[in-house]
């Protein structure tokens, strides 16, 4: 809009100057003072119009810039809030991943007990409530398409994981402990993979399917 307004004003100035020059040419260049005198009122009107237009354009541009800056701040703070909540959620995934790594699949007599312990721990540790995400879900679009997709995928996966764990009981662990442990370990890696898509953009712990990386300085502008 600002560029368009500047173009219109420039064309208007160029048009007036062209008309004045054509008038001077038709009357003779020696009479240029008289020509300018005849155009004085028109020039005054144009200058007044240009001044008013310039003030309007500048005011509109500053207002748009202020609104954009406010929107950027809101989006950045919203994304940061989502990230902090996700960090707590991912901690449970990392715990599950670590528990899976401690299992010795060769000790088959212990697998059922270990399976039940892992499932019970995950059910206790995985957050049932995500108040920050739920409160800000109507504003998700403000954080940008990339982070929007990443956060939505992570929360959708997390909800599905919580639901799927309800089917892992002492009985199912006794029947197929190795398969259940493998399933839970794989789910932990998948969840941490979703988390790793947005974690580097924020000042949060960077878990990964292969373990904790680091907590880095925020890079989100």
Question: Count of CB atoms within 10 A of residue 119's CB?
Answer: 24
The CA distance from 7 to 179, in Å, is: 69
The CA distance from 15 to 123, in Å, is: 75
Exposed/middle/buried for 29, CB within 10 Å: 0-12, 13-18, 19+?
A: exposed
Given a cut of 60, is residue 213 above it in pLDDT?
Answer: no
Given a cut of 70, is residue 79 above it in pLDDT?
Answer: yes
The CA distance from 75 to 169, in Å, is: 41
Its pTM stands at: 0.64
pLDDT confidence band for 125 (50 / 70 / 90):
very high
More confident residue, 47 or 127: 127
pLDDT confidence band for 205 (50 / 70 / 90):
confident
More confident residue, 15 or 114: 114
Given a cut of 80, is residue 62 above it in pLDDT?
Answer: no
Given a cut of 70, is residue 56 above it in pLDDT?
Answer: no
Q: How many residues does the chain have?
A: 221
Confirm if 83 and 161 have CB atoms less than 8 A apart: no
Domain ranges of the chain: 2-68, 81-201
Rounded percentage of the chain residues whose pLDDT exceeds 70: 61
């Amino acid at each position: 809009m600002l560029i368009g307004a500047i173009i219109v004003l420039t064309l208007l100035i160029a048009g007036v100057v062209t008309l004045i020059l054509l008038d001077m040419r038709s009357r003779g260049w020696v009479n240029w003072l008289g020509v300018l005198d005849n155009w004085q009122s028109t020039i005054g009107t144009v200058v007044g119009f240009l001044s008013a237009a310039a003030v309007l354009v500048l005011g509109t541009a500053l207002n748009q810039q202020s609104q954009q800056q406010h929107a950027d701040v809101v989006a950045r703070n919203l994304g940061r809030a989502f990230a902090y909540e996700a960090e707590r959620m991912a901690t449970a995934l990392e715990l599950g991943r670590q528990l899976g790594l401690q299992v010795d699949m060769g000790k088959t007599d212990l697998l059922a007990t270990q399976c039940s312990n892992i499932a019970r721990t995950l059910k206790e540790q995985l957050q049932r409530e995500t108040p920050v995400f739920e409160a800000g879900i109507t504003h998700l679009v403000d954080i940008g398409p990339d982070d929007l997709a990443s956060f939505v995928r992570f929360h959708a996966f997390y909800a599905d994981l919580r639901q799927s764990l309800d089917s892992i009981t002492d009985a199912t662990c006794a029947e197929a402990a190795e398969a259940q442990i493998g399933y839970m370990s794989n789910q932990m890696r998948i969840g941490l993979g979703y988390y790793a898509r947005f974690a580097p953009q924020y000042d949060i712990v960077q878990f990964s399917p292969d373990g904790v990386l680091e907590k880095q300085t925020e890079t989100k502008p």
